[in-house]
Amino acid sequence: MCSNDRRKFLNHASKITVGALSASLFGNAAFAQSAEFKLKYANNLPAIHPMNVRAKEAADAIRKETNGRVDIQIFPSNQLGSDTDMLSQVRSGAIDFFTISGLILSTLVPMASVNGIGFAFNDYQQVWPAMDGDLGAFIRAHIEKANLHPFEKIWDNGFRQITSSSRPIAAPADLKGFKIRVPVSPLWTSLFKAFDAAPASINFSEVYSALQTKIVEGEENPLAVIQTAKLYEVQKYCSMTNHMWDGFWFLASGKTWARLPKDLQAVIAKHINAAALNERDDIRRLNNSLEVELKTKGLVFNTINPEAFRAALKKSGFYAEWKQKYGPEAWAILEKYSGHLG
């Protein structure tokens, strides 16, 4: 090829590339613009967390099955604000979908935290029958009263572990005076106060910097969050306390849900619930592999005796206090799955 031909060829090739690129950009934009329902889903977790990965798959499947009528855009990593901000946005309809821990949702729907009672669940064999059964149905009925539509299958956040930059937590006494970040929720504060710790309510959007600047010594989260949000960079110890099981309700704004035709509601619900089951599987697998991986990043692990922690909670009056707050009906449904809690 002489240099002239070569120039022509390159010129042509670059036009093709630019042409293809603009077509694809235009194509997507046109698709989104033509969608009858352009909806926003916002959340607090990094884009690489299974919750966002599976939600993206669901959004793609929904776009496809509705022939582009429903286009769900995802805003991960607190791009649209903290959990507290997003909770008010989903109520007003400024965002259409939101995933939130039931414990944080309890600032609006008190009953939504009941599955987070400390050391209530031992394992997933207790959690899923409860949350897919009577306990989940009971909580969802309360959420609906707040004009929010919860999808049937709750997504997994996971069993929570305590991380620390100062000392490992091996026994209940190690929590005495421990400055620990907790999410914004009365139950979380109460749980750590029962251990004589010093809990500070901080939204997830501020957690990394709160740990880095040592405003708090520690925090507690499932391993999948510790990994994907890189909390191991600013923490030294990880105590496998499994002190609480936590899940994310996938919520639609009541306003959005009411204006969606029934057939579209059905397609959306089908794919969101299917994605929830896949996400649970992802988290289960990560639970099994992440300890090894996080050790290589320098985290030092230890286990605990849950009975010692349960006994300390019982002694402090924690269970009695919350039993009274939720009332006998809710407590009986919880204990149906967890066994007697004291």
Residues that bind ligand X2X (CB under 6 A): 44, 101, 104, 157, 183, 204, 221, 225, 246
8-state DSSP, 1: -
Minimum distance from residue 3 beta carbon to ligand X2X (Å): 59
Could you tell me the maximum CA-CA distance found in the chain, to the nearest angstrom? 88
Minimum distance from residue 183 beta carbon to ligand X2X (Å): 4
Three-state SS sequence of 55-114: HHHHHHHHHHHCCCCEEEEEECCCCCCCHHHHHHHHHHCCCCEEEEEHHHHCCCCHHHHH
Query: 186-194 and 318-326 are packed helices; what angle lies between their axes, rounded to 10 degrees?
Result: 160
Minimum distance from residue 170 beta carbon to ligand X2X (Å): 22
- What is the Cα–Cα distance from 281 to 279, expressed in whole angstroms? 5
- What is the Cα–Cα distance from 44 to 146, expressed in whole angstroms? 21
- What is the Cα–Cα distance from 292 to 269, expressed in whole angstroms? 36
Nearer to ligand X2X, 71 or 116 (CB): 116
Minimum distance from residue 225 beta carbon to ligand X2X (Å): 5
Nearer to ligand X2X, 35 or 87 (CB): 87
Minimum distance from residue 21 beta carbon to ligand X2X (Å): 36
Nearer to ligand X2X, 228 or 338 (CB): 228
Nearer to ligand X2X, 62 or 202 (CB): 202
Minimum distance from residue 131 beta carbon to ligand X2X (Å): 15
Strand partners, 162: 220, 239
Nearer to ligand X2X, 37 or 124 (CB): 124
H or E element, residue 164: strand 161-164
Nearer to ligand X2X, 119 or 204 (CB): 204
